[in-house]
Amino acid sequence: MQGGRGARLVLGCAGLALLSACAGGNQVAQNGYSLAYYRAHAAGNYAPPGPPSDPWGPYINIAANRFDVPPTWIRQVMRVESGGHEYLDGQLIVSAAGAMGLMQLEPATYQEMASRYGLGQDPFNPYDNIMAGTAYIHEMYQIYGSPGFLAAYNAGPGRLDSYMNYHTPLPGETINYVAMIAPNIQGYYPVHRSEADQLALNTQPMSEAPGLLPPGFIPDAPARQMQQNPLAPVQVASIAPPATPMS
C-alpha cells in the first residue's frame, strides 16, 4: 500500500473539490464575507439536546451512526476545537481563521458539507455543525485513514498531500493537533475500515509518532491556543520532518 500512495493522493483536492483546502488567495475574502453573513443570521438560541454532563451526546450519536465515525473521534476533535462550548466571552466561537462552531469549520468547508449532505444554512447550529464536522472527518478518513485524517482536518487535504508527496513540512500547529488527539482515539475505528489505514503515516508506533512523523523536532512556530477539556489527557510530542527521499 505504501508504494502507491502518490497515485492515490491526487484525490486530495481535485477528487473531492474541498473548497476550504484547495482554494487560493480569494478564499480569505470569501471566508470573511461568509462569516459576516453567518454571524448576522445565526439564531443564537441553541438548546443542548442532552444533560449538562453530556450536552451534545444525542447529536454526536446521530452523527456517528449516519457517517460511520466512532463517537470518540467526534468528541476528541470537538474537545480540541472548541472544548464543547458554543460561546466564548458571550460571542459565538469563531477562530482567527474564521472557523465556526463546535467543530470549527471554515465557511467554505461548511458550505460544501451542507450542500452534499442536506444540512441547514446556519453553521452555528450545533446539530448541523456536528453533522458537517463528522461528515468531513468521514471523508478525510476515507482518503487518509486514522490518525492521518486528523492532519487533513486541521491543515486541509492539500497540505497533507504536499507533505506526503513532496515532503513539504506540516505546520507546527498541525503536528501538535495530531499529538493531542491521536493517543485518545487509538483503538477506535469505524465499522467499515478504510484501506488508507495501511498508509505509512498510520502504521508507525504511537510512541514514535502521533500518526505522522518520527521524533526529534520542535516546531518553529507554536500551535495556536486551543480550547481543551481540562479533564482530558493531552500529549504533545516533539516531531521531526520527513527524511529526504533517496534518488
Known catalytic residues are 81
SS3 88: strand
Cell 483503538 maps to which residue?
187
Quickly count: other Cβ atoms within 10 Å of residue 207's Cβ. 9
Quote the CA–CA distance of 124 and 147 in Å, as a whole number. 26
Q: Which helix (H) or strand (E) holds 71?
A: helix 71-81
The residues facing 239 across adjacent strands are: 215
Cα distance between the two ends of the chain: 20
The answer to whether the beta carbons of residues 60 and 71 sit under 8 Å apart is yes
Q: Which phi and psi (to 5°) does residue 58 adopt?
A: -60, -40
Q: Which phi and psi (to 5°) does residue 194 adopt?
A: -90, 140
The answer to whether the beta carbons of residues 132 and 114 sit under 8 Å apart is yes
Cell 456517528 maps to which residue?
64
Dig out the grid coordinates for 99 from the structure: 472557523
